DNA sequence: CTGAAAGCGCTTACAG
DNA sequence: CTGAAAGCGCTTACAG
């Protein structure tokens, strides 16, 4: 910038004013400066510009369960892909860029990992160090779903795990299931916790014995055979005729494994999933899933993040949009 | 930092040294400083830190065709999702964050949109203003596929559009197609251009009349009926019995529309796509697609971007990995 | 309408 | 082992 000023025969102040349209600069001067800047190949430093406000116009999305999954953005995990995409778009629309960050607390993390104006942390783990770090450094953030060990302690978008579970379970019962089992994940997050609690409560109210198995999220479809064995390896009397499977990929694996085992969906087993993957929509039979509307969640989270970044009053409802049930063949007898 | 220095009774220099493990600081002093910093809630500014090096450890991915598509990260466009995910992971592994940027040349673009150390621009348009801007500002970037109007002008990862097209066309012919038509997109990028040129050349060598239709990428599966009408609305003699469809979503729409029209795939029509979507894998019949290995492309692009950002010698082969053909029911008679 | 000066929050030779 | 000083590349009151 000094070079431009020198070459144009003005002060850096004037260059700054001219190039940013601030202050008052005569049109001719401004034009001349623009010309010189272009000729010299002047490249403003966004970092230096950001130094004053200590803001970069950057948001970060930390999707915690990603580390549990086998690939970073695994195909078929509609939820996170749609969330990341929608979050990026929503950020752009509000004049921010969106950064995908792995884990800013990791030792080798790049400078940029902590450079965002605000963070969105999706599905934090129990006592999540990412939340701890952000909070210690007074970096604004919103979590989607609470830290199970510290609910309500930070700004969070409340999820509707409980009501969503009941929605799915009631649907299964309404479709004719008498004994509904639960297939959950092993991640220590609010979704798994709350859903299980809601399921237990639902069973208690119906006077049914809970039947729960947990398989690692990371194993995806591969859990199919093992899960079938777990639920259908025992004598007929205790077998479920309905199954609520939290993740779409687990449901897809189970759906395929059931078929191979000669268990007919939906005739013998009513199957519903708590989150959808494309697979569930186009499998045979197709699988009923909750649509959590990750785009809506992302949009809301971005809105909150922007307000936090700008130190504005929070005017956004701090809860995720209501999920809907996409009823498909697996629960239609 | 000044506050920490004051509170610890040392100079800012020492604080800096202690906190970053540079220079030489007595262990006790360092410990004391760390304590004070923690107590005060000191939060280092990555922006100020980056000011010296003018580097943030930030890479940016600009996926140009995204603007043509109906949603930002549309489901079923495996290619870009896999690319974005893999690029993020690859960046993390090399100590960088990855930012998804819409269009840094847009007037309202945030500061951060130009703050990356290096850019990856996927499938630039003709005379792409993004490339122009980056090049004018001397910001390092690598493009995946060349700007059709300026091939070889910038650092670019050469794509293999020509050989991939021939691979698919030869496969169709080998599977029994006598008259192969081409269904391309309307975006002005190298992929569409080169593929069409390769197709024309291939036809010329076989003495076949080219039969080409272009539909907007943005219309996705919806082009099905119109595309079928275009190719099969005319008298039998000129109808194709093989079709190479550049995008997976177009192929999925066409596949479904053919079925409705009573055109049997693969019996009446051999169908292959130039890029895959999950739909193509699990549709009935499943559709043969090229797998462009977006993960491999992303990994290589990130490698180049990192070397550019660090001013290192480019040691990466400047071409994308070879595509493979996933042969499925649509070309298996 | 333009510019000198201070400052944003750090790092880094260099001197002690 | 520690600190004073200059500087990274800008912006922003403020004075003229």
Res A73: pLDDT: 44
A chain contacts of residue B279, beta-carbon cutoff 8 Å: 278, 282
Residue with tokens 């939820």: A79
| A11 or A102: which leads in pLDDT | A11
Residue B8 · residue B15 · CB < 8 Å: yes
Looking from the CA of B281 toward its CB, the CA atoms found within 13 Å total 15
CA angle A135, A140, A144 (to 5 degrees): 85
In chain B, which residues from 116 to 135 place their CB closer than 7 Å to nucleic acid strand D? none
Q: Which residues of chain B have pLDDT under 50?
A: 70-76
Res A94: pLDDT: 86
Residue A253 · residue A281 · CB < 8 Å: no
A112 touches chain B (CB under 8 A): yes
A321 touches chain B (CB under 8 A): no
Instruction: Sheet with A324-326: list strands edge to edge.
Output: A212-214, A180-184, A242-245, A270-273, A288-291, A324-326
pLDDT at A25 over 90: no
A107 touches chain B (CB under 8 A): no
Rounded to an integer, the average pLDDT of A136-150 is 93
Q: Is the dihedral of CA B258, B260, B263, B266 positive or negative?
A: positive
Q: What DSSP string describes A136-152?
A: HTT--EEEES--TTSTT
Res A77: pLDDT: 55
CA distance A174 to B198: 57
CA distance A66 to A81: 11
- Per-residue model confidence as pLDDT tens digits over A169-199: 999 999 999 999 999 999 899 999 999 999 9
pLDDT at A33 over 60: yes
- Per-residue model confidence as pLDDT tens digits over B117-160: 999 999 999 999 999 999 988 899 999 999 999 999 999 999 99
Tokens of A125: 């783990």
C1' (C10) to CA (A108) span, angstroms = 20
Q: Nearest nt to B13, CA vs C1'?
A: D3
CA distance B167 to B8: 69
Give the number of A-B residue pairs with CB atoms closer than 8 Å: 175
3-state class of B214 per DSSP?
Answer: strand
Res A74: pLDDT: 47
Res B247: pLDDT: 92
Q: Is the Cβ pair A75, B108 closer than 8 Å?
A: no
Question: Mutating which of A44, A45, A100, A107 best tests the B interface, going by the most B Cβ atoms within 10 A?
Answer: A100
Cα radius of gyration rounded to whole Å, chain B = 26
CA distance A330 to A277: 14
Residue A159 · residue A145 · CB < 8 Å: yes
Res A238: pLDDT: 83
CA angle B120, B124, B127 (to 5 degrees): 125
Rounded to an integer, the average pLDDT of A285-291 is 95
Rounded to an integer, the average pLDDT of A293-306 is 93
CA distance A308 to A119: 9
Q: Is the Cβ pair B278, A47 closer than 8 Å?
A: no
Mean pLDDT of chain A: 89
The structural domains of chain A, ordered by start, are 2-44 (1.10.260.40), 58-159+294-320 (3.40.50.2300), 161-291+325-331 (3.40.50.2300)
Rounded to an integer, the average pLDDT of A23-34 is 86
Nearest to A171 by CA among A288, A43, A310: A288
Residue B153 CB neighbour total at 10 angstroms:
12
B326 touches chain A (CB under 8 A): no
List the single residue in A55, A81, A110 with the smallest CB-CB distance to B96: A110
pLDDT at A66 over 80: no
Task: Report if CB A54 to strand D is under 7 Å.
Answer: no
B309 touches chain A (CB under 8 A): no
pLDDT at A278 over 80: no
Rounded to an integer, the average pLDDT of A158-164 is 95
Tokens of B90: 């690859």
In total, chain A counts a number of residues equal to 333
Res B93: pLDDT: 81
Tokens of A2: 């000094």
Residue B107 CB neighbour total at 10 angstroms:
5
pLDDT at A266 over 70: yes
Nearest to A294 by CA among A87, A156, A62, A95: A87
3-state class of A89 per DSSP?
Answer: helix
Mean pLDDT of chain B: 89
Res B77: pLDDT: 55
- Per-residue model confidence as pLDDT tens digits over A39-51: 888 888 888 988 8
Q: What is the dihedral of CA A135, A136, A137, A138, to 10 degrees?
A: 50
Res A75: pLDDT: 44
Task: Report if CB A35 to strand C is under 7 Å.
Answer: no
Q: Which of residues 16-55 of A touch B (CB under 8 A)?
A: 38, 41, 43-51, 54-55
Rounded to an integer, the average pLDDT of A283-306 is 93
List the single residue in B44, B95, B110 with the smallest CB-CB distance to A110: B95
């Amino acid at each position: 910038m000094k070079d431009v000023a020198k070459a144009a025969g003005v002060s850096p102040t004037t260059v700054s004013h001219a190039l940013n349209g601030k202050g008052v600069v005569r049109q001719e001067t401004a034009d001349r400066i623009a010309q010189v800047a272009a000729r010299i190949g002047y490249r403003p430093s966004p970092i230096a510009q950001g130094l004053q406000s200590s803001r970069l116009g950057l948001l970060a999305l930390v999707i915690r369960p990603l580390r549990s999954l086998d690939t970073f953005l695994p195909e078929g995990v509609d939820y996170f892909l749609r969330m990341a995409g929608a979050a990026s778009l929503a950020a752009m629309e509000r004049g921010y860029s969106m950064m995908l960050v792995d884990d800013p607390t990791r030792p080798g993390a790049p400078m940029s990992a902590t450079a965002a104006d605000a963070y969105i942390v999706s599905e934090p783990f129990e006592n999540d160090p990412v939340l701890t770090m952000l909070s210690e450094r007074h970096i604004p953030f919103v979590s989607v779903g609470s830290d199970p060990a510290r609910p309500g302690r930070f700004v969070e978008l409340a999820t509707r795990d409980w009501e969503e579970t009941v929605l799915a379970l009631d649907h299964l019962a309404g479709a004719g299931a008498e004994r509904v089992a639960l297939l959950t994940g092993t991640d220590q997050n609010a979704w798994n916790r709350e859903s299980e609690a809601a399921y237990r409560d639902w069973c208690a109210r119906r006077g049914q014995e809970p039947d729960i198995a947990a398989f690692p999220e990371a194993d995806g479809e591969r859990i199919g055979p093992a899960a079938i064995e777990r639920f259908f390896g025992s004598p007929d009397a205790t077998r479920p005729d309905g199954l609520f499977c939290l993740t779409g990929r687990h449901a897809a694996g189970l759906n395929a494994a059931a078929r191979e085992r000669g268990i007919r969906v939906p005739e013998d087993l009513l199957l519903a999933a708590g989150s959808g993957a494309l697979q569930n929509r186009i499998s045979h039979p197709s699988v009923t899933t909750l649509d959590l509307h990750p785009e809506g969640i992302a949009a809301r989270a971005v809105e909150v993040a922007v307000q936090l970044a700008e130190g504005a009053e929070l005017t956004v409802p701090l809860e995720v949009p209501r999920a809907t049930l996409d009823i498909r063949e697996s629960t239609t007898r």
